[in-house]
Amino acid sequence: MTLTMAMPKGRIFEEAVQLLRSAGYDLPSSFEQSRKLIIDVPNESLRFILAKPMDVPTYVEHGVADVGVAGKDVMLEEKRDVHEVLDLNISACHLAVAALPTYQRGELNPKVASKYPNVASQFFKEQGEQVEIIKLNGSIELAPIMGLAGRIVDIVSTGQTLKENGLVELEQIRQITSRFIVNPASYRMRAGEIHDMVERLAAVIEGDGSEDH
Ligand code: PRP
């Protein structure tokens, strides 16, 4: 029976495909170039659905996908009822607070722009700071430049976007990597297939780790 895997479109996708190939999955070479949103790989009994990263846990929670790949950032923001079974150790980045270099704590600008309103409000709550979260859907770095917010909470990967837009990181919130997630019912009903996949992926990840030492 075909196992359905939800994959995040965009920058995580290629790394996730690479990881699956390293784990021995025979995926067609046209895979990364395709604009299709559903890709069947019958020889592996796999069906891939390509969703927006933030939507992957939604597909998995509702069981239309059995498994999926989601960033820890998305998992923290969405809090979906799925099992997070493996740290895939790909697409490493971190969540951070950033602002213009002129921003000062005492400035009393409580506005924080973010694609991660839940993560951002939780972070500032823990810091004992009252803020007003402004939800944006992308290009978050625009907000402080245009005066929409004093600070942003966003993903920093290479740091290039902050640098090119003249922003500086104020605080690191946490490290982020991609996770392998599983629908709870699929985890019970299709335990054999899913464990096999997890073991194959884990073997590649552990192998990668040991090469570093
Ligand atoms: C992400 C993130 C930053 C950027 C960080 O945005 O929101 O803007 O990447 O990467 P860097 O540190 O390597 O420059 P993404 O490109 O996913 O698009 P978005 O602005 O639409 O969210």
Question: What's 30's domain CATH number?
Answer: 3.40.190.10
Q: 87 and 188 share a domain?
A: yes
- 161 Cβ closer than 6 Å to some ligand 1 atom: yes
Band (pLDDT 50/70/90 cuts) for residue 193 is: very high
Q: 162 and 190 share a domain?
A: no
Q: 9 and 84 share a domain?
A: yes
pLDDT value at residue 52: 96
Q: 8 and 86 share a domain?
A: yes
Average pLDDT, the chain: 95
pLDDT value at residue 10: 86
Ligand 1 centroid to 155 CA: how many Å? Answer: 6
Task: Enter the tokens of residue 208.
Answer: 């990668």
| Per-residue pLDDT reduced to its tens digit, 102-158 | 998 767 789 999 999 999 999 999 999 999 999 999 999 999 999 999 999 999 999
Ligand 1 centroid to 78 CA: how many Å? Answer: 18
Q: 159 and 83 share a domain?
A: no
pLDDT value at residue 106: 66
pLDDT value at residue 163: 98
pLDDT value at residue 213: 42
Query: Would you give the distance in Å from CA 75 to the centre of its chain?
Result: 7
- 138 Cβ closer than 6 Å to some ligand 1 atom: yes
Residue range(s) defining the domain that contains residue 147: 93-175
Q: 195 and 146 share a domain?
A: no
- 160 Cβ closer than 6 Å to some ligand 1 atom: yes
Which residue has a Cα nearest atom 22 of ligand 1? 138
Is residue 24 pLDDT above 70, yes or no? yes
Which of 155, 158, 173, 176 is the pocket-test mutation for ligand 1 (most atoms within 8 Å of CB)? 155
Long-range CB pairs of 133-142, under 8 A, 24+ apart, other chains included: 140/113, 140/114, 140/115, 141/98, 141/165, 141/167
Q: 32 and 52 share a domain?
A: yes
Q: 147 and 100 share a domain?
A: yes
Q: 81 and 185 share a domain?
A: yes
Q: 99 and 122 share a domain?
A: yes
- Number of domains within the chain: 2
Q: 120 and 146 share a domain?
A: yes
pLDDT value at residue 209: 62
Strand order in the sheet with 38-41: 38-41, 46-51, 3-8, 67-71, 178-182, 83-87
| Per-residue pLDDT reduced to its tens digit, 161-170 | 999 999 999 9
